[in-house]
Structure 1
């Protein structure tokens, strides 16, 4: 199905929401967005169409602002000119230029590093794809220097390289830090990180609570509903003629979760583990 939708001027929306695909995760963020953004909006889901002509839709609907949910939507809007774009739930927020504002999915590196220091991990291994996450590694390296932590990094450009790069980290790291990187962390490679954790007796710090049951010690998980609210507040500022500061932000509400069984296996004291979640 080819996308070509015209909305009459009387019913035209102030906000055009372009969503990458239908997903409960995106829907949760969208609910938060709409709660904090009272302007009239219309949502267009890209996966419903074979050949979406977004520049034409924007020209005909003339929204005051566009919200892109997910990386696919953000990439599809690169050819749109003249209308401010706000990003929500994009992994590669730092790789996109020309955005009016946005809130990424990546938790501030300082939050992971604070956990690592409490765990007495001074050498942290990271496997990543530079084409996707070099912008984040730049921030992480700066924060690591301030925390007195060494990042031992390995680059991959194909998921098949991940196992060999993990092997090269044996005996050289005190912890593994998983990034939301679709090249380095896939369904096929995920198990290897936890096998490494078991064989090397080092903790895994992850971005997803789903990884706790697989063997991660700690997960720093983003509140997706609040992520939408945060983005909506920034969009509302733009509609009022105010430039958000900062224009590109990290999630403000993050929940730290711990796998107590893994903590016991790695012989961490109970008091230390409790201190991780203490406010």
Structure 2
């Protein structure tokens, strides 16, 4: 790490830096325990020579120049900030994990990785198990439009209809919730930063409780606040999955396009007291 810090310092001063031989440059957005857990899985699957860099440790990092000087064969971007810093990289493939933006828009061929959201079919299967037929979901088209387009195409296979309300400003959520009153028998909460704010989560879960319908979320942390169930990701296994992808890229198995993969391991968590209160059970 000291050598990489020196490299960044020399680059910031405009001084030449000798080429290095690290196979991987790992860009980590911050020192989050979740990121560390994912990287533990990544390193278990991809045992390679690496240079790690935590972006939050520095005021500014010229990632493009760093890649040109370090000459890694592949860049691993952990978190949204790291992926954003890699957007201008063209020289090497980028494998992303724990970044919501990976699934929010089409990616160029050299950027891929593992998304943060369970596949739509996993949610739709859960809705069917809960007996839901009309599912309400609030979303920002720019952030969740692509994902919900897929969900809408698959919903009929599970006997589910999606009642979708577009929310382009977080302050508009309450009005959009009014449109769902009496129209849905389940509320689906996605990891959408326009919809999921502290204030809005209170309103969403209150809507669920007062209307007597279950709320299904993307993280178990909301179960204690009244959500009925959650499909949570497994950061360690996501890291393993990303590590396996990195290894295949380094071997040249997927040289033309870096695929965008969905997390293969998803944990169902439930709030038993809420389910009992609603007279629901999951087989």
TM-score relative to the length of structure 2: 0.90
Tell me what 1:208 maps to: 219
Moved more, 226-235 or 184-193: 184-193
Task: For residues 218-265 of structure 1, give each alpha carbon's deviation from its aligned partner in whole angstroms, at most 9, with x where no partner exists.
Answer: 111111000000000000000000019992111111111111100111
Gaps of 5+ in 1: none
Q: What's the secondary structure of 2:216's corresponding residue?
A: strand
Aligned equivalent of 1:228, options 236, 239, 245:
239
Tell me what 1:190 maps to: 201
Shift of 1:205: 0.6
Tell me what 2:14 maps to: none
Gaps of 5+ in 2: 12-16
Count of residue pairs brought into register by the alignment: 270
Tell me what 2:265 maps to: 253
Over aligned residue pairs, what C-alpha RMSD do you find?
2.0
Counterparts of 1:1-80 in structure 2, within 5 Å, are: 3-4=8-9, 8-9=18-19, 12-80=21-89
Shift of 1:42: 1.5
**C-alpha distance in 2 between matches for 1:20 and 1:3:** 16
Shift of 1:92: 2.1
The alignment status of 1:262 with 2:247, answered yes or no, reads: no
Aligned equivalent of 2:131, options 120, 133, 148:
120
CA contact (8 A) 1:144 1:150 kept: yes
Counterparts of 1:171-190 in structure 2, within 5 Å, are: 171-190=182-201
**C-alpha distance in 2 between matches for 1:108 and 1:222:** 11
CA contact (8 A) 1:34 1:232 kept: yes
Tell me what 2:115 maps to: 104
Q: What's the secondary structure of 1:92's corresponding residue?
A: helix
- Per the alignment, do residues 138 and 191 of structure 1 end up closer, same or farther by CA in structure 2, a change over 3 Å counting? same
